[in-house]
Amino acid sequence: MGKAETLGLGFRLVVVLVVGCLCREAVGSGFVKYETGSGVVEGKLNVHLVAHSHDDVGWLKTVDQYYVGSNNSIQGACVENTLDSVVESLVRDPNRKFVFAEMAFFQRWWLTQSPGIQALVRKLVDAGQLEFVNGGWCMHDEATTHYIDMIDQTTLGHRAIKAQFNKTPRAGWQIDPFGHSAVQAYLLTAELGFDSVHFARIDYQDRAKRKEDKSLEVIWRGSKTFGSSSQIFANAFPVHYNPPPGFHFEVFEDVVPVQIHNENLKHHVKTNGWQPWRSCCKKI
């Protein structure tokens, strides 16, 4: 694997989190409005935030329990509520974006929605606010799963997306499998026409070294036979796929929320909670 070249002005930082934008501006009434507009600001540290969920198609609970939110004594999770609230939030603000991966859950949710909600979701997809990543029926394992099963379940999900939205996923999203294979890199990302693949689980020593030498982002050539035609931009997360410590964005965290405003922003930048952001930042 070789290092990816990064082009641009100022600072660039790519972070995958479930968070809201922190930039705000004062208005005449004395209240503060969150500035959620997109676009690069010259001379500033530009942070790219991607809101997402991770929904196991069966793990500690059954698929049905995960979807409806039952048996929460084992794990608090309700995918149906996630999708309901995501659609509502995206409609409220056209600058918001969300990515979703597991078609096993989305298709179950989709088939129970009214024609009006389905039409609304199609508009969100067409506008780029809701995007499907990976797009398989589930996020398959890369070690024990046979490649035919990987192809079949990915095809099932992609056919559903194509039939309902006439869209094709652009990014591989393998954030939870324990290890990553060359077959996934070339056959189920590059050969699918993806422009990137993103994952979280790598060896802790490998992650530490890559954070140190700024090689979390690489060009991965998954097949010697197919050469450059099989290569894909690969991005390993600087931390796990949950938000970094210090922000307290998770609903189930029993902590006092962080208060951020212009007067204390520099202080928060210097605290350990912001260290994961700085560790993957590159100055061009």
Catalytic positions, written as ranges: 176
Distance CA 133, CA 10 (A): 28
Strands (E), the chain: 2-3, 11-15, 24-26, 32-34, 45-49, 98-100, 130-132, 171-174, 196-199, 217-221, 231-236, 282-283
Residue identified by tokens 């479930």 is: 18
Q: Is the dihedral of CA 201, 136, 222, 6 positive or negative?
A: negative
CA 175 to chain centre: 8
- 3-state DSSP of 225-253: CCHHHHEEEEEECCCCCCCCCCCCCCCCC
Sign of CA dihedral 8, 11, 17, 22: negative
Instruction: Starting at the earlier edge strand, list the strands of the sheet with 11-15.
Output: 45-49, 11-15, 282-283
User: Quick one: which of 247, 252, 234, 250 has its CA closest to 273?
Assistant: 247
Q: Is 89 helix (H, G, I), strand (E, B) or coil?
A: helix
- The angle subtended at Cα 220 by Cα 177 and Cα 130, nearest 5°, is 60
Structure tokens at 230: 């099989």
In whole angstroms, what is the distance from residue 125 CA to residue 139 CA?
Answer: 21
